[in-house]
Structure 1
Amino acid sequence: MTVEPLSSNVVNYLVWRYLQEAGYGNAALQLSRCWNRDPDALPFAKNVSQHALISLLQDGLWFDKLQADAGNGKQRYQFGRDHGRPYSVRNGALLTLDQGVPAHQLADEANGSVPDPPPRKPPAKKKKNARGVNGTEPRMNNQINGDAMDIDQNGHTHVTNSVRAESEAMVSEAESPTVAEIPISTLSIGQSAEIQTDQIVDLVPNTVFSYSVYDTEKLVTQTQWGTPEAPLFLAAGKSLLRMAIIPRPGEANAPLPPPFDLNIPLNNFSVTALCWNSNDEMTVSAQEERVNDVGEIMKTDKLFKLVDGGTGSQVVSSTAGLVTILRWNEAKQLLLAISNDGKRGSVKIWKTPGDEQFPTWTTFTDTAIFDAIWISDTTFVICGIEMFCIYEISDSLNLQRSLATRVTWEIVKYEASSGIIAALGLEGQTSYLGIIHPNEPTSLQTQEYPDPYFTDLDFRPWHKSNALGISSIPYSPASSPVVLATSAASGVCRIWDANSPFKCLKRLAVTDDCQVNNIAFSPDGSLLAAAGPDAVTIWDLDKRVVPLATWHAQDVNNGVWDASVDGEFSLGWDPDSSRLSIALGNQIAVVPMPR
């Protein structure tokens, strides 16, 4: 395969575009003066995408890493985490090129065109053996434009194949014609300054740790945010069901009640599953341990509905077993509960939880169930050990499809706009990504997952417009990608087009190649978070593949976060996408997002 040679025109154009996109308007202007007065007129300019130079450099760094890994050698290009203090970002609207006039205003005044320069004076006769520009000796074969730069394996650049005529005179700086102050092409600096290509925000300084649980008798095993109408945060686990009202960023510092424990009529309990039913109602499954008179430990499982903001409770069932999954169907007001007895799984559905002790529909499976999700008002999916089933509710509970599989499916997600189902699972030591597409509803398409130790997956909410092709227009199966993010413990995240199984759109490496336990899109679809005990990485895929922000456990002071603690890890988004939470053991961090 022949690699396309880079010419100085291409390199200069990429640098010129980067300078504008990063907000360096004056530097871009000087480059265009010294090189080409109308860079956008170059024949290849229309093929250059936004942030092309950054993408090219990132791809080169990634290739260098792969090459080093394959040869068990060292990377040639390593810059470390400390890149110095970021430059001071000026307001794009005030970035001036001439006499205090904003660049975009100059462009508007010129209607996006470059004004003609003054008439050019004929160049003065040059003396033989004259010194070059700025008094330096002229180099041999010094070519200005259109020269192909061949880069050898040692990083040296060789200039060849010039298209400049040998008789064309080179104009010195002193002889160069005066060029009028020109606006910077058609790019709006005022807009592009907002999307810095090299600035990564540090999220640690504004992180709040005050919601951590410091009672050693209690243990956090899961966390959840409330509904869009209520900025609530819930921590649950061993002897713990605690709620906090967390003010949104920028809200007035009004007095707020401290975190408070919700009342359930159990002692020495462990919450095994929970789900929100509405703004002030939720369903909770808990297991209580009691010791009888002869010292025997007795365990009982109960399902509760908490009402009136958690101040009251109703028993839904005392016979549901050890419930590990609860899913609420808002449209039909149905509660789906999944439990396992160690060998078999059970599915129970209540029409009016709390008003009836026994489920309306019940069925059992031959193997354990690991995950479940509603895919319509009356249809849901369950998956588990060599099992992938779709059930439908009518007058009775019917098995709509049972898809043959030898994979143990552990995680399943559904994208409502496209009707696509995605899952991750294992067969032996081999990981698989599975897709059920509405065009082939009876086929579970699978592909071996490319990275070791998968951990999570999430669909991007459809309503968010983004650079990968999603838009707010109605879903079009023929042309629109359905963005699916997956993660692996090895620190690699992938962006797939689930509408074209199995097309990988992007491969993203998290900060410092840290372990990833969970991955999740923000509810508005604008941000993607990949998180583990050591670090959190945030991307805005609309703007760039370089992370927008990062959070490092090693930068946290005062001993409020210990990444080595044993315990369950969880990641969650506030419904308004302004914050995310991570929890490990009894440590909870609430991280505000940059906007």
Structure 2
Amino acid sequence: MGDGALGSDHINYLILRYLQEAGHENAARALHQDWHRPQEFSDPEQLPFAPLVRQHELVHIIQDAIFHDQLLAKVSNNQRRFNLTTTQFPHRASDDRRSDPTQQHDFPLPPAKRSRKSNHHADPDSMQIDVTTQDQHQDQHQDQHHIHDRHDRPDLDQDQDQDQDQDEDRDPTPDTAEPDHLPTASSATQTDTKLKSKSETMYWALDQPDASIMHALWNPHLSHSTRLLTVGESLCRFYNLPHHSKNSLQRAHHTDVETMPKGSVITAACWHPSGRYATCALDSTRRLPGGGHESVRSMFDVTVQGTKRFYDLHGYLLQHSAIIVALRYNNSGTRLLSVSTNMKRGLVEIWDASQPATSLDPVAVKLFNQPVIDAVWASDDSIVVCGENRLDFYQIHDASMPNGTSANGDSFASTGTRNFALQYSHPTDKQWDKVRYDSVNAIVAATSSSDDHTILLAKTSPRWVPLPGFPTEGPASKRATAMAFQPVDTANDATHTSPRRLAVTHDSGLVRVYRVAPNLCETLHEFTMGPHEAALALSWSPTGSCLAVASEEAVKIWDLNTGSVPLLTWRAAATHWYQGDENNLPNGDETGDEPSLNWDAEGKRLVFAVGRKMAAIRLLLPSTNTSLANDDSSVVD
């Protein structure tokens, strides 16, 4: 074998990966068992070359070989050695001898066409196979163009119904203002029972070239579950997306609720628990008479009908370039907290959300001497604040002290009704970026991306102590990217201290689900998005039984009640996701956009957004699997 030749282990591993990515789980298991390899490589992922294998590598190798054969035939003026991708298919005689090569096959297939993402080619069209042949038959096979999607999306089930409407995969206009309904069948990995979960996907791109999505949030109330809030750079918009439609070209209506000045951005947003309105924080600039610019910060409530209510912010306390980084309502919806920072100091403000006034003043304000990056409600009148060298617990109660300085040197101010009382400050020297709270078992989770550190604290009055059994030090090069406790299912949570699930995603693609209680922490599941594919966002289904995790172009859903096999693997079709959008390039270029992933109130749809691209993914579940929806999934059309 010459230098660079592949051995049997290379071939077997490439085939194994192809079978797994294509959803042929039974065949992958059989190959895994029959493959004789050294004992130290009982797990094929431990093979030295395994980390170098990119996604869909076998398909890419074959594509490159065919392309090389085409170029070689052209240069040497000889016939091609492999004619699999042309329409010239010689008949095979009964004695296995080939007949006249000029004879055409009775049923020529359209030539393969792929949008190459993993290979680093400057021009993705240069990898197109048999361009001349394709041009000759383009009109003849227009209604079959969806075949090439299967090369780009190996998670599509190869045995799906042959009579599926071929207009389903029609390419949308890249930058249309309204989404097209484009059903695409995505199947989960095969199981022994061969129950398949599929999806319908509605793709669309924003019609504003300077807009970019930061948050896409479904309305949390069942009666308004079709409403979608999308905010970000130069964007503040409501969509009303139908549950399902038999018309593949049906449009969804949208309303721009704010005129966004150039360079402005909605830095934080959330729905009120009632679903009647959403609250947004806007950061923009104002031109000064002398020609300079000044940062302007504002916050407002807005309804789908366009009515607004503004908040009176105390941003002057932070002075330079402060932005609001978090907005959260308490469970009852009676109070709202906002977190602002200029990366030198931090500010937390509390509002009484039950007031019907047209504008609101904060009922309590606290200024911190270090940056504050996140805060979360621990109850209707207590919060947990995190930031640089800070993980503090505060009680919000009636004002009993004059404005001044607290014991730890921070300033506080009351506007007449409430103030902050420090209950406990956890000793730390790290910068905590995210904090989450489980109200069932009174457990706090916090992550530090700069230190690859995650911590769980359980309350042992009056202190909070690290939960035993939890790995506080993050795995090497596995920075935590998202974290969330499963939502409280009031209908099924029988006891107040029942064990709960905590999901943490990492930029290595690792997804861990922990089972936690006041005196318990154990790893329940460990998943992966795929080799070299970061897990960047997560969302729990409303009942807390299923977990969805997203990378920049894929979503995996696990039903945690049935095991570790993905219930659904969805990957964005390249023809819809990348076409005509410089913010989502097909050559694997880094865009820096973090995805937004959110489950609707019914537990039947996910919204997935990156850059200017959006996809509403509707799950079509097997009739025997109802764990995602609150009602019988057989009603799904």
Query: Percent identity, aligned pairs only?
Result: 23
Are 1:220 and 2:213 matched, yes or no?
yes
Q: Is the 8 A contact 2:203 2:577 kept in 1?
A: no
In 1, Cα distance between equivalents of 2:481 and 2:577: 30
Counterparts of residues 131-210 of structure 1 (less than 5 Å): 196-197=191-192, 206-210=200-204
Which amino acid letter does the alignment assign opposite residue 521 of structure 1?
W
Cα displacement (A) at 1:494 = 0.7
Shift of 1:390: 1.1
Instruction: Describe the superposition over 1:278-335 as per-residue Cα deviations: whole angstroms up to 9, x where unpaired.
Output: 323222211222223432112211121224x341222212533522111112526112
How far the C-alpha of 1:588 sits from its partner, in A, is 0.9
SS at match of 2:332: coil
Letter of the 1:585 counterpart = G
Please state how far the C-alpha of 1:68 moved relative to its aligned partner: 5.1
Q: CA, structure 1 residues 316+476, in 2 after alignment: closer, same or farther (shift >3 Å)?
A: closer
Give the 3 Å change call, closer, same or farther, for CA 275–82 of structure 1 in structure 2. Answer: closer
Q: Which segments of 5 or more consecutive residues in structure 1 lack a partner in the other structure?
A: 1-52, 90-193, 465-470
CA apart distance, 1:492: 0.9
Post-superposition CA distance 1:100-128 (Å, at most 9, x none): xxxxxxxxxxxxxxxxxxxxxxxxxxxxx
How far the C-alpha of 1:517 sits from its partner, in A, is 0.5
Shift of 1:433: 2.0
Give the direction of change, closer, same or farther, for the CA distance of 1:200–1:459 in structure 2 (3 Å limit). farther
Provide the rounded CA distance (Å) in 2 between the counterparts of 1:326 and 1:85: 41
Q: Which residue of 2 aligns with 1:294?
A: 290
C-alpha deviation, 1:441, in angstroms = 6.0
Query: 2:615 aligned to 556, 566, 589, which one?
Result: 589
Q: 1:493 aligned to 2:511?
A: yes
Q: Is the radius of gyration larger for structure 1 or structure 2?
A: 1
Question: Which residue is equivalent to 1:503?
Answer: 522
Give the counterpart of 1:274 among 269, 274, 285: 269
Residue of structure 2 equivalent to 1:377: 380
Task: Determine helix, strand or coil for the equivalent of 1:443.
Answer: strand
1:235–1:242: 8 Å Cα contact kept in structure 2?
A: yes
How far did 1:373 drift? 1.0
2:502 aligned residue: 484
Partner of 2:8: none
Distance of aligned partners of 1:378 and 1:195 in 2 relative to their CA distance in 1, 3 Å threshold: farther
Q: Distance in 1 between matches of 2:373 and 2:559?
A: 31
Residue of structure 2 aligned with 1:532, choices 547, 551, 554: 551
Q: Deviation of residue 253 (structure 1)?
A: 9.8
Count matched residues. Answer: 421
Distance 1:206 1:341 in 2: 42
Q: Which SS does the other structure have where 1:375 is aligned?
A: strand
Task: Decide which of 530, 535, 541 is 1:516's aligned counterpart.
Answer: 535
- Aligned pair 1:303/2:325, yes or no? no
Residue pairs, 1:349-428, within 5 angstroms: 349-352=350-353, 355=358, 357-395=360-398, 396-426=419-449
Within 5 Å, give how 1:44-63 maps onto structure 2.
Answer: none
Matched, 1:461 2:480: no
Query: How far 1:521 moved relative to its partner?
Result: 1.2
- Work out whether 1:548 is the aligned partner of 2:567: yes
| Alpha carbons 1:344, 1:367 under 8 Å: kept | yes
Match of 1:283 among 279, 286, 308: 279
Is the 2:344–2:369 Cα contact (8 Å) retained in structure 1?
yes
How far is 1:424 from its partner? 1.5
**Conserved 8 A contact 1:209-1:589:** yes
C-alpha distance in structure 2 between counterparts of 1:438 and 1:545, whole Å: 31
Change (3 A) 1:554 1:438: same
- Whichever residue aligns with residue 617 of structure 2, its letter is V
Change in CA separation of 1:436 and 1:294 when aligned onto 2, cut-off 3 Å: same
Q: Show the counterpart of 1:322.
A: 323
Give distance in 1, aligned partners of 2:40 and 2:238.
48
CA RMSD of aligned residues (A): 3.7
CA contact (8 A) 1:338 1:346 kept: yes
Q: Distance in 1 between matches of 2:556 and 2:508?
A: 14
Secondary structure of the corresponding residue to residue 207 of structure 1: strand
CA 293–450 in structure 1, closer or farther in 2 if over 3 Å, else same: same
Please name the residue that 2:495 is paired with: 475
Deviation at 1:461, TM superposition (A): 2.7
Q: Which residue of 1 aligns with 2:108?
A: none
The 8 Å contact of residues 374 and 386 in structure 2, kept in 1 or not, is answered as yes
Q: Could you state the TM-score of these two structures normalised by the residue count of structure 1?
A: 0.63
1:440 Cα deviation after fit: 6.0
CA contact (8 A) 2:550 2:595 kept: no
C-alpha separation between the residues in 1 aligned to 2:507 and 2:287? 40
Contact 1:268–1:290 (8 Å) recurs in 2? no
Structure 2 length-normalised TM: 0.59
1:437 aligns with 2:431: no
1:302 and 1:454 map into 2 onto residues whose CA distance is 31
Residue 29 (structure 1) aligns with: none
Show the 5 A alignment for 1:223-262.
223-228=216-221, 229-230=223-224, 231-249=226-244, 258-262=253-257
Closer, same or farther: CA 305–269 of 1 in aligned 2, 3 Å: same
Q: Closer, same or farther in 2 for the Cα pair 1:366/1:292, shift >3 Å? A: closer
Change (3 A) 1:206 1:481: same
**Which letter does structure 2 place at the counterpart of 1:514?**
E
Deviation by residue 1:143-198 (Cα, 9 ceiling, x = unmatched): xxxxxxxxxxxxxxxxxxxxxxxxxxxxxxxxxxxxxxxxxxxxxxxxxxx99447
- 3-state SS of 1:206 partner: strand
Contact 2:537 2:551 in 1 (8 A): yes
* Cα distance in 2 for residues equivalent to 1:574 and 1:332: 19
SS at match of 2:206: coil
**Distance (whole Å) between structure 2 residues aligned to residue 65 and residue 232 of structure 1:** 50
